[in-house]
Structure 1
Amino acid sequence: MMGPVLAACLLIILSTAWISQANGATCKKDGGVCTCNDQTKNVDCSSKGLTAIPSNIPLETTQLRLNLNSLSKLSPTAFHNLNKLTYLSLGNNQLQTLPAGVFDHLVNLDKLRLDYNQLKSLPPKIFDKLTKLTLLYLQNNKLQSLPNGVFHNLPLLRDLHLQRNQLRRVPEGAFDYLSSLSLVTLNDNPWDCSCNDILYRSKWIREKEGKVNGIESATCVNKKAVLEITEEEAAEDCVYPNTTTAIPTTIITTLASSNDDDIPELPVPQENFQKFLGYQEPDHLPTQPQCLMSISGYLGLMMFFVLISAAILYVIHFLKKA
């Protein structure tokens, strides 16, 4: 009776070995493209020309770098199994939109980088689950507006970077719940100071002057400082297209971007790893954050099927003899 038992044990061992290999296929040591550090739980997938998130990122990962790639889309469930993450960098990609709920499982996230992308808007409640977030980088995008209450669930946020976007306004009370805020950058946005909703921001800046760094640099289209705007100057009751059908009377021209002093803009590598690694576009990713296997994953899969077939044949042969 030892034959079937040995065969069953062999099947279990082979299955475990293959699963372990497939789960490690993200890392270079197993044939993947990313650098993984088992001690620090860091995974570095930066500057790989990626158009999709690599496969099987270890569930224990705490820091994940996906910056300096060619990501243009994200699956809504891209990070759902990575609830240990404290740092996520998606900067210097080509993201144009973010799916609703994409960050909802990152309840331990401390730092989030979305800078140097092509984001024109943010989904409502996109940051609501990130209650431990302290740093949020949104600069150098194309944001034209912010959803109501987008920062309301970020009580620990210290640094908020919004410079070099296309923002003309922020919702009333946008910054009121940021009780830990010590730095916010608002410069190089075409703030519309002819509309009376600028008065909220002007008053907030005056109240926080000396307490929150960076706020004094916010200027109107005519270069006048936002904190100096008076009620007489901001007399118009403007309505913006993203809230109603009315169109504001003031025509806003976009300010030209200037170089970032603290975060250099680096070119994104254009190497295409899709054919070599079998990548597919994020829209076709599985429902869990597993993707595609590297070459070592495929070889492991082939070996697994060969060995499992041999084990099955052995069991059948033994049973026939019995």
Structure 2
Amino acid sequence: MMGPVLAACLLIILSTAWISQANGATCKKDGGVCTCNDQTKNVDCSSKGLTAIPSNIPVDTDRLVLNYNKLRELEPTAFHGLNKLTNLDLQWNKLQTLPPGVFDHLVELDRLDLNFNQLKSLPSGIFDKLTKLTDLRLNDNKLQSLPHGVFDKLTELKDLSLQNNQLRNVPHGAFDSLSSISNVQLFGNPWDCSCNDILYLAKWLATNLERHAGANCDQSSKAVLEITEEEAAEDCVYPNTTTAIPTTIITTLASSNDDDIPELPVPQENFQKFLGYQEPDHLPTQPQCLMSISGYLGLMMFFVLISAAILYVIHFLKKA
């Protein structure tokens, strides 16, 4: 009667081992693409050509590095369960938007790096749950505007980087809740000093000289903090548009009347969609393919071993 007992034990051991491997598939030691340090609780997934956040990131991760990848978008639940995370690095990707609520579970987050992406806008309330954040980096994106109250909950924030975007103004009161702020980077934006919307920023800069790096008007080299109400008298209304899409000139094939046909500027993105073009970035990367194949093979092996164990049990039961 020892046969069935041994087979049952073998079945339990195999099941436990397979589940453990599946849950830890993010880390290299288990066949994943990321480097995981159990002592420091750091997970490094940088420079892997990733187009999606790896699954099964250990729930006790303290620092998650995802820079230098090809992330274009994030799933709304990408970081759910990682409520111990204090440092999230997403810089040098291709993010164009952020889904609402994507950071809501990161209640312990201290530093968030989103610089060197392609963000054009931010959802309202995107940072509202990050009340312990002290360092927020949004520089070198394509931000045209900021939502009202986007920084209102960040009372612990000390460093804010907004340089090298396409901001023309900030909402009235944008920085009023930043009671702990010590450094704001604002240069490299096309600040519009002809419109009275700029006056809030001008007054904030003038009364917080020690907290910011300079910001100059787009129309001149004059500092924003020097703008007066007379200079910013216009009541401007900006169109609700995204950043300009790079265009390419499509010229009609030569014909007898080609001199009479004007050149037609066509947005590059639309032209690529018209031709059915898809960038190689959308293709799965080699590590992702290997992970999928290894996971499939592991699953098949698991079922083969279970079947063998069950047959082994049946065989001994029949003998008994």
Give the structure-2-normalised TM-score.
0.82
Q: Which amino acid aligns with 2:284?
A: Q
Instruction: Assess if the C-alpha contact under 8 Å between 1:278 and 1:294 holds in 2.
Output: yes
C-alpha separation in 2, matches of 1:278 and 1:231: 57
User: 1:160·1:183 contact (CA, 8 Å) conserved in 2?
Assistant: yes
Q: What is the number of residues matched between the two proteins?
A: 281
Structure number with greater CO (CA < 8 Å, separation at least 6) is: 1
Amino acid at match of 2:286: F
How much does 1:184 deviate? 0.3
Unaligned runs of 5+ in 2: 242-279
1:321 CA displacement: 4.1
RMSD, aligned CA: 2.2
Q: Name which of 286, 292, 295 aligns with 1:276.
A: 286
2:309 to 306, 311, 316: 311
Quote the offset at 1:301 in angstroms.
2.1
Give the conservation status (yes or no) of the 8 Å contact 1:42–1:62: yes
Which residue matches 1:174?
174
Return 5+ residue gaps in structure 1 as ranges.
Answer: 244-269, 280-291
- Does the CA-based 8 Å contact 1:25-1:294 persist in structure 2? no
2:117 is aligned to 117
C-alpha deviation, 1:28, in angstroms: 1.7
Quote how far apart the aligned CAs of 1:194 are.
Answer: 1.2
Deviations 1:251-299 (A, max 9, x none): xxxxxxxxxxxxxxxxxxx9998253445xxxxxxxxxxxx94554344
AA aligned opposite 1:230 = T
Between the aligned partners of 2:42 and 2:35, the Cα distance in structure 1 is 8
What percent of counterpart residues are identical? 75
Q: Deviations over 1:159-187 (max 9, x none)?
A: 00000000011111000001100000010
Match of 2:89 in 1: 89
The CA distance in 1 between the partners of 2:202 and 2:318, in whole Å, is 87
1:153 is aligned to 153
How many Å separate the matches in 2 of 1:39 and 1:299? Answer: 30
Shift >4 Å, 4+ stretches: 1-6, 270-273
Paired AA for residue 224 in structure 1:
K
Which amino acid counterpart does residue 79 of structure 1 have in structure 2?
Answer: F
Pair 1:203-2:213 in alignment: no
Deviates more, 1:292-301 or 1:171-180: 292-301
Bigger Cα Rg:
2
Deviates more, 1:194-203 or 1:141-150: 194-203
> Hey, what does 1:220 align to over in structure 2?
217
Q: Within 2, Cα distance between the matches of 1:45 and 1:79?
A: 14
Residue 298 of structure 2: aligned partner? 300
1:127–1:151 contact (8 Å) kept in structure 2:
yes
Equivalent position of 1:248 in the other structure: none
Residue 250 of structure 2 corresponds to which residue in structure 1?
none
Shift of 1:309: 1.0
TM-fit CA distance, 1:213: 3.4
Change (3 A) 1:272 1:229: closer
Instruction: Point out the structure with the larger helix share.
Output: 2
Counterpart residue number, 2:53: 53
- Cα distance in 2 for partners of 1:59, 1:293 equals 20
1:11 paired residue number: 11
